[in-house]
Amino acid sequence: MSHLDDSADRADRTDRSDRTERTERVPVADPTIGERARRRVDEVLQSGQLADGEPVRAFEREFADYCGVDHGVACANGTAALHAALRACGIGPGDTVVTTPFSFVATANAVRFCGAEPVFADVDPGTLNLDPAAVREVIEARDGDVDALLPVHLYGLPAEMDALLAVAEEYDAVLIEDAAQAHGATYGGRPVGSLGDAAAFSFYPTKNLTTGEGGMVVTDRDDVAERAARFVNHGRDADGAYVSLGHNFRLTSVAAAVGRVQLERLPDFVATRRDTAARYDRALEGSSVTAPPAPSRAEHAYHQYTVRCDDPDALAAHLDDHGVDSAVYYPTPIPELPAYGDVEASTPVASRASARVLSVPVHPELSARQVDAVVGALETCDP
């Protein structure tokens, strides 16, 4: 039993068990907010200091420590964190950022918010993360024109960072990790968020750690941290002077209070996700449905447990018959979205993947009975 097993955590688990045993369906997401987080929020409310106060500063320090870096800059959401990280790394109008077509649209939107151009390289057919060989091919086709790489640790699986960092170094580009889905993942034994020039996390309700809405820029670079902190606070520097253009992208103390408790419990959350994923892996042995990959240098955080098969609609219907919800992340690659109709991109692997993926419930709110239900459905699937 972990050190977090105090009376409040036991009450949280009891409440969860009672609730989930009464639930007929198995939801694909279900945020964990316990009694300790509620108490912390109440303390902030009673203090009257609801905005960008000491709980935010503490959360920044603690999350940076968790990621093994020197600085954390809290933001209003994950998209703001991406925007701030790019700007803090010097990305602006006329710059080129090579990124993945297979992600939530916020990844590319943040590039455009900076006035820069998102350029899409295809994904690796095994991991569905940004393919370093495709990145190099795209850069060479543009005569070496690249200012930043923006890989996504898709579904909680770290991208192939050694190769991507080598490409970034060769072309003198910054590398920013989109770690919105990867809290608790590691690559080569190092936490995601500590591998590039900066990283951006999201604390949306479905993420491994949630503050309701929120995000964080993490970095070892003093200059990047200073610029990011100014950017999210109206361009205000440490002396209180407004020295540059910025947004109001600050995180509230209420959200930080939730995040600090979530961070204390994050190792347990991720361990539970991995244990559940291991059961699903065993259930799919010998099946035509492909389980998520497990590269040797990457430790998955299982924000999503995403399988691949030839007929995901049939698999979704089979799961539905067993009372199990599922979802597709992402049904359309970014370059094929209407908002990106002006972009030319050749990403056939991403296009094929979008027609074959399906995510099943893996969150830590699942009861033992619900996990058994998902396992039973996977063991009997034949899409």
Retrieve residue 322's tokens: 């067993």
User: What is the pLDDT at residue 151?
Assistant: 98
Residue at a domain's end among 198, 233, 260: 260
Q: Is the pTM of this model over 0.85?
A: yes
Residue segments in the chain with a per-residue pLDDT below the cut of 70? 1-23, 383
User: What is the pLDDT at residue 7?
Assistant: 44
Domain that holds residue 171: 38-260
Residues 6+ away with beta carbon under 8 Å from 352: none
User: What is the pLDDT at residue 62?
Assistant: 98
User: What is the pLDDT at residue 9?
Assistant: 52
Alpha-carbon distance values, 264 to 59, 81, 103, 210, 267 (Å): 11, 21, 28, 12, 7
Clarify whether residues 48 and 160 are in a common domain: yes
Alpha-carbon distance values, 185 to 19, 171, 302 (Å): 29, 27, 8
Residue at a domain's end among 237, 260, 283: 260
Residues 6+ away with beta carbon under 8 Å from 184: 156, 191, 208, 266, 267, 269, 270, 301
Identity of the amino acid at 330: Y
Dihedral-angle region of residue 164 (phi above 0 means left; psi in -120 to 50 means alpha; beta otherwise): alpha
Retrieve residue 184's tokens: 């608790």
Clarify whether residues 62 and 170 are in a common domain: yes
Residue 1 placed within a domain: no
Residue 32 placed within a domain: no
Clarify whether residues 289 and 195 are in a common domain: no
Residue 197 placed within a domain: yes
Clarify whether residues 237 and 215 are in a common domain: yes
* 136 neighbors 157 (Cβ within 8 angstroms): no
Clarify whether residues 351 and 250 are in a common domain: no
Buried b / exposed e over 331-361, threshold 16 CB at 10 Å, is ebbbbbeeebeebebbbebbbebbebbbbbb
Q: Please tell me the distance from the alpha carbon of residue 175 to that of residue 158, in angstroms, as a whole number.
A: 14
Q: Please tell me the distance from the alpha carbon of residue 298 to that of residue 264, in angstroms, as a whole number.
A: 23
Q: Please tell me the distance from the alpha carbon of residue 249 to that of residue 45, in angstroms, as a whole number.
A: 21
Per the structure, the count of domains in the chain is 2
Residue at a domain's end among 232, 260, 288: 260
CATH number of the domain bearing residue 188: 3.40.640.10
3-state secondary structure of 243: coil
Clarify whether residues 248 and 283 are in a common domain: no
Retrieve residue 273's tokens: 């996700």
